[in-house]
Structure 1
Amino acid sequence: MTTGIIGAGLTGLTLGNLIEDCELLEKSNECGGLCRSLSEDGFTFDYSGSHIIFSRDKEVLNFLLGQLGTNVVRCRRNTKILYEGNYVKYPFENGLSELPLYDKLNCLTTFITASFIHRKSQSRAENFKEWLYTMFGRGIAERYLIPYNEKIWKYNIAAMSTSWVDGRVPRPPIWDVLKSALGIPTEGYKHQLNFYYPKAGGINALIRSMERKCSGKILKGFEVRSLSRENNKWIVSNGEERRKYDTIIATQPLFSLFCALKHAHMHIPAHVYDAVRRLKYNSLITVMLGLDVEHLNDLSWLYIPDSDCLPHRVAFPSNYSKEVAPPGKSSVIAEITYNSGDAIDAMMDKELIMRTIRDLHRRGIIEKDSVCFARVKRTNPAYVICDLDYERNMYQIRTFLNRAGIYTVGRFAEFRYLNMDACVRNAMDLAAKFNSVN
């Protein structure tokens, strides 16, 4: 039974590694999807945002590390939050001792109060903003979590659901927060405290390895324009060539999938098509800077909740591996979310670079005169936004796809906020299901 896999990003390549009789159709001339890297003038940048490799799932972690072999380094996270001009340990609740006295006491007391109220009432938050207040208290929520999340999502967080927060925004133990306020070192988000990264080649080194193991299975430059069902076969066309498969797995965005179905005149009920159009997401700009500085700092990445600073996060990939920058230089990736048609989207690359350099210079993160390389990349879509209608819309979409016999896996095919390891896990589970049948 031949399986057609639409998309050769991380998810598609995982499937290609694990399913024997398959073919991958990739619209671009290179594989990788969101896991691609730019290599230029001795610098290597992950241009859909800084990627790292970590997972609680040992099978997934071993699979990813096995792809890299010896081309890997192990790093310990050193991440900060820029709060009122000072660096505070990440997560914020684990760095309370570094706050001014009043802020520290307010964060601690409101966290404890919220914890006891939640434990007693067991009430369920109606939206993401309310959830932040319920789980963390007013102090932590208003000083960091609310401004940062409003900035990264570019969406009203009171209109976002809580369906995506499990495992992504864990609630810290009261004891850890108390110790943090007293200056006793604690660590949060321990599953990413130690992470891995390719020694050379950026995250694209992972993709290249996976691609080699799919040799002969990948058809590049094949943009799926129509997808139809004929005589118990799936017919996939790019407008010039038709390919036939017994089964189809889609890893590309749902929007593209439904466009292909519509182009092939497959009947899509109006309520399903409306559900697809109602799905929300945002996009990402990365400003990649090379610096004529041998050692900029010791940070892994930095969160910036200030609304008057363009980037929400700044990563320092040359601190993961020295081989992603030329000798004597270092690198920075500034991440900026936007919505199509907004003021950020309208900014030209030159303006984005100048504004980013200015904002980082003013906050003492870089010296503007040290910049020796600058590039901009845009990723659209980048992040799934789970609004209050998300579950209802996805139920209608999943029901339709299940009845049609189309499998979907990956961040934008499932339309779920999945990290790399979750995409791999879901692909592994689906591949196991296919292999058990064949």
Structure 2
Amino acid sequence: MPSEHHRFLILGAGPTGLGAALRLLELDGTDFLLIEAAGQAGGLAASLVDDQGFTWDLGGHVQFSHYQTFDRYMELALGREGWIDHQRESWVWMRERFVPYPFQYNLHRLPGPEMWSCVQGLMAAAESASGERPADFEQWILRTFGQGMADIFLLPYNFKVWAYPPAMMNAHWVGERVAVPDLRAVLKSICLDEDNLSWGPNNTFRFPLHGGTGAIWDGLAAHIPERHKHFGDGIVALDAERRHATTASGACFSYDQLISTLPLDRLCQLVGDPALIERTARLKYSSVHVVGIGLRGQPPEALRTKCWMYFPEDDCPFYRVTVFSNYSPNNVPEPGATWSLMAEVSESPCKPVDAERVVADAIRGMRATHLIGEEDPILSRWHRRLHHGYPTPSVERDAILRDVLPALEARDLYARGRFGAWTYEVSNQDHSLMQGVEIAERLVNGREELTLFQPNLVNGRYNVWPYPEWMEKR
């Protein structure tokens, strides 16, 4: 028999679960219990300190925002003084040189023949433009950028980061994630031999002064009273008909409604419905190996101000490397005398990775791309594999979600978050937290969820609270 009953159970204390819990607290302390398998908050946005004293994030996270409410919660987490502000410096390493991001606006950095190949392809794409909807992401790349940029950068890089061929992905997710080229801007950059660096929602960002990204979510979790938290003991069984959830320790909780941030395929396995299990088994995702390399000394001059770098070529296994010690001096044990690089390597059935060799391969790749030298003293070799790393926007994803999410909601199960709703285009930390806030508002006050169901709307503006759409319907 259940030991407790709660109006809401929230599964997972990552950004989405915390967003739901904090909003429920604000809504007159509505009864809920936040259940987390780990002993700390943060989920995929948690941070860890290794045995040598280096701090590592679970992947490359930075703080930027589309939401007034998210900004309010960030101040609640760390105050106004707990941050370092950064101007983004992101680069592409290829052809033995750094090209500023976005690549398509900095072609003047390429060798002449490749620069011309990119321009030819872009002009051909512009001349043959049509209103026909692309069938997949590869087709979108070719129609938007042309063959030159596709071959030189976009196709190899996107396979490297997603671990699936772009032809297996849809093009609906792109939105603000990819800078669509303006031919005049491209040609201006080439003719004037000038860099174009300002594109994107994260051209400025901030980072916690202490504790890595995880400090944010630990700080927010500290504002939730202990009676609302059950940490270190995750759900292992779910009876959706009787509305009972059982944890690994044997604790059993009943509920009226359940908000799940678990991966959608795992939630459906817990529910046990064969049709839902079969549908979600077709969802695609990549795993991510995060490799942290802590070094003695200081970063070389070429890296002293860089934030992160993309790597499309096959002389290294990683798709991105962050100069993590540049984010905060407190990410290393001896600021000024030690520094750190954090690499990410994707894995999928289409792109297998040898976990036993991935750290050594990453170090070889860092040397091949001149990030570190052969003699640089390495103090720390840290590795963590994230089984569910990126929710892949595959060609079949949207049809699966249209079937599965309503079927779960008919059972009062609400799947939200990066992997809960499997919607990459709204899976940054700000989006994820707001998915939690919005589902709480919907279940308590009947409000519309904008982030999950209207991603282009929320990504195209700064969203003030309460949303204008809510006020119009009063």
State whether TM-score is above 0.5.
Answer: yes
Q: Quickly say closer, same or farther: Cα 1:165–1:342, change in 2 above 3 A.
A: closer
Query: Hey, what does 1:377 align to over in structure 2?
Result: 384
Q: Name the aligned partner's letter for residue 199 of structure 1.
A: L
Opposite residue 265 of structure 2, the aligned amino acid is F
Contact preservation (8 Å) 1:317, 1:333: yes
1:372 to partner: Cα distance: 1.5
Match for 1:166 among 139, 156, 175? 175
Offset, 1:122:
1.3
Provide structure 2 residue ranges, at least 5 long, that are not aligned to the other structure. 1-5, 26-30, 448-474
Aligned residue number for residue 129 of structure 1: 138
Corresponding residue for residue 289 of structure 1: 293
How far off its partner does 1:164 sit?
A: 1.6
Deviation (angstroms), 1:437: 5.5
1:18 alignment partner in structure 2: 23
- Asked if the contact 2:161/2:346 (under 8 Å) is kept, the reply is yes
Partner of 1:107: 118
Aligned twin of 2:201: 191
Q: Tell whether the 8 Å contact from 1:68 to 1:209 is kept in structure 2 after alignment.
A: yes
What's the CA shift string for 1:4-45, capped at 9, x where partnerless?
101111111111111122110111222211011121323111
Q: 1:407 is matched with which residue?
A: 414
Code of the residue aligned with 1:272 in structure 2: it is L
Q: Pick one of 223, 235, 248 that aligns with 1:224.
A: 235
After superposition, the C-alpha distances for 1:330-371 in whole angstroms (9 at most, x for unaligned) are 110011011269641x331xx322221111112211124321
Taking the aligned partners of 2:36 and 2:437, their CA distance within structure 1 comes to 20
Q: Secondary structure at the match of 1:34?
A: helix
Conserved in 2, the CA contact under 8 Å of 1:226 and 1:260?
Answer: yes
Match of 1:54 in 2: 64
Give distance in 2, aligned partners of 1:414 and 1:13: 16
Deviates more, 1:78-87 or 1:13-22: 13-22
Deviation readout 1:181-208 (Å, 9 max, x if unpaired): 2223323533111011001100011011
Residue 253 of structure 2: which of 243, 251, 267 is its match?
243
**Contact 2:315/2:368 (8 A) holds in 1:** no
Q: Secondary structure at the match of 1:109?
A: helix
1:35 to 45, 58, 73: 45
Name segments (4+ residues, structure 1) moved above 4 Å.
340-343
Distance 1:341 1:218, change over 3 A: farther
- The answer on whether the counterparts of 1:225 and 1:259 sit within 8 Å (CA) in structure 2 is no
Give the gaps of 5 or more residues in structure 1. Answer: 263-267
1:86-106 CA deviation, whole Å, 9 max, x = no partner? 110111012111111222222
Which one of 312, 324, 331 corresponds to residue 317 of structure 1?
A: 324
Q: Deviations over 1:208-260 (max 9, x none)?
A: 111101131210122212222466xx211126221122211011111221122
TM-score w.r.t. structure 1 length? 0.92
Residue type of the alignment partner of 1:365: L
**TM-score scaled by length of structure 2:** 0.85
Return the match for 2:355 from 340, 347, 350: 347
Q: 2:10 aligns with which of 5, 12, 15?
A: 5
> Are the aligned partners of 2:292 and 2:342 in contact in 1 as well (CA < 8 Å)?
yes
The 2-side partners of 1:115 and 1:66 are apart by 47
Displacement, 1:134? 0.9
Q: Structure 1: which amino acid aligns with 2:32?
A: C
The answer for the alignment partner of 1:361 in structure 2 is 367
Aligned-residue offset at 1:61: 3.3
Q: Quick check: 216-225 or 326-335, which moved more? A: 216-225
- The alpha carbon displacement at 1:139 in A equals 1.6
Which deviates further from its counterpart, 170-179 or 422-431? 170-179
Distance 1:437 1:123, change over 3 A: closer
Contact 1:226–1:259 (CA under 8 A) maintained in structure 2: no
Q: Could you tell me how far 1:271 is from its partner in structure 2?
A: 3.6
AA at the equivalent of 1:12: G
CA distance in 1, matches of 2:405, 2:91: 39
- How is 1:57-68 mapped onto 2 (pairs within 5 angstroms)? 57-68=67-78
Residue type at the aligned position of 2:346: T
| SS at structure 1 position matched to 2:265 | helix
CA positional deviation for 1:2: 2.1
Indicate the residue corresponding to 1:265 in structure 2.
none
Task: Between 187-196 and 88-97, report the one with greater CA deviation.
Answer: 187-196
Contact 1:179-1:186 at 8 Å conserved across structures: no
Distance 1:300 1:50 in 2: 10
Q: CA RMSD in A?
A: 2.0
Task: Return the alpha-carbon distance in structure 2 between the equivalents of residues 129 and 229 of structure 1.
Answer: 40
Matched, 1:87 2:98: yes
Q: Distance in 2 between matches of 1:229 and 1:77?
A: 46
Secondary structure of the structure 2 residue equivalent to 1:278: coil
CA distance in structure 2 between the aligned counterparts of 1:18 and 1:59, rounded to whole angstroms: 10
Q: Structure 1 residues 403, 343: closer, same or farther in 2, change over 3 A? A: closer
Q: Distance in 2 between matches of 1:248 and 1:343?
A: 35
- Taking the aligned partners of 1:134 and 1:414, their CA distance within structure 2 comes to 29
Task: Give the Å deviation of 1:114.
Answer: 1.2
